Amino acid sequence: MKQQSKSEPLWTKNFILLLASAVFMYIATFMFTPTLPLFARSIGAVDPSVGGFVILVYTVGSFVPRVIWGNMADRRGRKPVFLIGVIIMAAAAPFLGLFVSLSGILIIRLIQGIGFSASSTSGSTMAADLVPASRMTEGIGLYTLANTIGMALGPDLGLNILRQYGARWLFGASIVSGVVSLGLGMLLNYEKKRGAIQSEPGYVRNAMPEAESTESVKLSSKHGKLIEKSVLTTSLVAFFAVMPYGAIMAYIASYGIDRGVGNIGLYFSVYALSLFLVRLVIGRLSDRHGITMVIIPGSALMFGGLVVLHQANSLAVFLISAILFGLGFGVVFPLLQAIAYMFCPENRRGVASATLFTTTDLAYGLGAVIIGFGIKYLGYATAFAGLSIFIVISIIFYIILLYPQLKSSGNKQADLYRKNVVKEKTL
C-alpha cells in the first residue's frame, strides 16, 4: 500500500467515460429548457408564467426522489442509479410528441425530472469517487464541465431544431442524446474496483481528522439515511445562488424574442463558454487564494450579469450579461459543491449530493416561477434585475454562516484532503 501523491491523474479512463456520458445527458436536458416554454406557447398556453411552471414540475420531479436516489447510490451502487436515470429521461421524451397539451407536457416533464435526479445525483457522486481526494476542488470543477458543455450545445441546438424542423425532431434528438449517454455510461466499470478498495482492512478515504470524521458520521446518523446534515449550510448558500440561474434558463430566450433580438440562442453558448473557461482554472485559483477570496468576486460577477439585463435591448448587451453571469456562476457553484464533499463522510457522498441538489432543484424551480410572475406584473427588465437580491442574500449567508465554518474546520479538512490522504490504492 502506498500513500497518494499530489500528482495523481484526474483524466483516468473512467473519469473520461463519466464526463462524456454526462455531457450527452445534460444535452438531452438543456435542449428542452428554453424550447418547452415556446412549445407550450405554440399550443395555446400564452400566459408568461406558464414557462415557469414547466420548469417547476421538472424540478419537483427532481426534488422529491433525490434523497431516495442518493441513499440508493450509497447502498446499491452509483452506476446503476445513473443508468436508470438516463433510461427514464430518454424513454419519456417521445411522449412529449404524443400528448400535445399543457397537462401532457407537465406530466412528462415531471417524469423526466425523476430520471434527471437519479443521473445527476449519482453522476456527481461518481465524480467525487473517481477524482483523487488531494485534487477534489479541481476534479469537481472539471466534472462540472459536463453541465457546461451540455449547456453550450443543448439550448441552441434545441432552439434551432424546433425552429427549422419542428417539435417532433426536437424530441427525437433528445432520445438520440439519451441513448448515447446510456451507451457510454454502460462502459464504466469503477464500481468493482471501488468496492475492492473499500474492503481493504486499512482503507481510509475521508480526509477529516479521526475525531471530526467520527463526529460527522454520528451527526449524519442522527438525521437518518436521507439527509446529510454536514452540507445543510452549504445548501442554504447554494439555494439563493441558484435561483437566478433557474430564471435565466427558463426565460432568457423569451426575453430576447420580446426584445426583437435574433439568434438569442447565442446567449447560452457564450454563457457556457464563460463557464468552461473559468472552470478550467477554478481549482488552482481556490488553492492559491482560498475559497472565500474567489467565491465572493464570483458572486459579484453574477450580480453584475443580472443588472446588465435591465438594459438588454441588443444581442451585444445580452452577451455581456452571459459572460458576467457565466463567469460568476462557473466560480460559485463548483466551489460550493466541493465544500459539500469536503465536509461529508465518504460513505455519505450519495446522500450529500442528494441533499445539495435537492436544495438547488427547489431553487431552480422557484427562480423560474418567481420571475414568471415578475415578468407578468413588472416586465422582463425589472424582473431580471430584481433577481440580483438573491445573490446579495447568498453572499450574506456565506459570510455569516459558511465562512466561519470553513475557517474553523473546513480549511483544515481541505489541507488534509491535499496532504494527508492515506492508503487509498494498492499497487
Mean pLDDT score, 200-204: 39
Comparing C-alpha atoms, which of 82, 108, 100, 64 is closest to residue 19? 82
pLDDT value, residue 361:
80
Radius of gyration (C-alpha) of the chain in whole angstroms: 21
pLDDT, tens digit, for every residue of 355-401? 888 888 888 878 888 888 888 888 888 999 999 999 999 999 999 98
For residue 425, the SS3 value is strand
In percent, the amount of the chain with pLDDT more than 90 equals 25
Q: Please give the single-letter amino acid code of residue 12.
A: T
User: In this structure, what C-alpha cell is assigned to residue 402?
Assistant: 459558511
Mean pLDDT score, 198-204: 41
Chain-centroid distance of CA 330 in Å reads 11
CA distances from 328 to 64, 159, 242, 302, 391 (A): 28, 25, 11, 5, 11
116, pLDDT greater than 80:
yes
Mean pLDDT score, 96-104: 79
203, pLDDT greater than 60:
no
DSSP characters for 151-183? HHHHHHHHHHHHHHT-HHHHHHHHHHHHHHHHH
Average pLDDT of every residue of the chain: 79
pLDDT value, residue 216:
43
Higher pLDDT, 118 or 207: 118
pLDDT value, residue 46:
64
Cβ-in-10-Å burial (0-12, 13-18, 19+) of 400 comes to exposed
pLDDT value, residue 386:
92
**Residue 354: half-sphere exposure toward Cβ, Cα within 13 Å:** 26
pLDDT value, residue 321:
94
Q: Which residues pair with 425 in a beta bridge?
A: 2
417, pLDDT greater than 70:
no
So what's the architecture of 13-419 in CATH? Up-down Bundle (1.20)
pLDDT value, residue 30:
84
Angle at CA 226, nearest 5°, toward 221 and 230?
60
pLDDT value, residue 219:
43
Neighbours of 185 (CB within 10 A): 26
Is residue 280 very low, low, confident or very high in pLDDT (cuts 50, 70, 90)?
Answer: confident
Is residue 423 very low, low, confident or very high in pLDDT (cuts 50, 70, 90)?
Answer: very low
Cα dihedral sign for 154, 159, 163, 167?
positive
DSSP characters for 90-154? HHHTTHHHHS-SHHHHHHHHHHHHHHHHHHHHHHHHHHHHHS-GGGHHHHHHHHTHHHHHHHHHH
pLDDT value, residue 194:
52
Higher pLDDT, 362 or 211: 362
pLDDT value, residue 319:
94
424, pLDDT greater than 50:
no
pLDDT, tens digit, for every residue of 317-350? 999 999 999 999 989 988 888 888 777 777 777 7
pLDDT, tens digit, for every residue of 46-78? 666 676 677 778 877 777 777 788 778 878 888
Q: Kindly give, in sequence order, each residue whose CB lies less than 8 Å from that of residue 397, ignoring residues fewer than 6 positions away.
A: 236, 237, 240
Comparing C-alpha atoms, which of 394, 402, 388 is closest to residue 292? 402
Comparing C-alpha atoms, which of 148, 371, 367, 160 is closest to residue 255? 371
138, pLDDT greater than 80:
no
Neighbours of 5 (CB within 10 A): 11
Is residue 301 very low, low, confident or very high in pLDDT (cuts 50, 70, 90)?
Answer: very high
Cβ-in-10-Å burial (0-12, 13-18, 19+) of 103 comes to exposed
Distance between CA atoms of residues 31 and 45, nearest Å:
20
Higher pLDDT, 220 or 182: 182
CA distances from 3 to 94, 96, 199 (A): 50, 52, 17
Domain boundaries defined on the chain: 13-419
Q: What pTM was computed for the model?
A: 0.68
pLDDT value, residue 394:
94
Mean pLDDT score, 189-213: 46
Cα dihedral sign for 47, 49, 53, 59?
positive
Distance between CA atoms of residues 255 and 247, nearest Å:
11
213, pLDDT greater than 50:
no
Mean pLDDT score, 259-285: 83
Q: Which helix (H) or strand (E) holds 276?
A: helix 266-279
pLDDT value, residue 354:
77
Nearest 10 degrees: Cα torsion 402, 406, 407, 410: 160
Cα dihedral sign for 96, 122, 143, 300?
positive
User: In this structure, what C-alpha cell is assigned to residue 136?
Assistant: 477534489
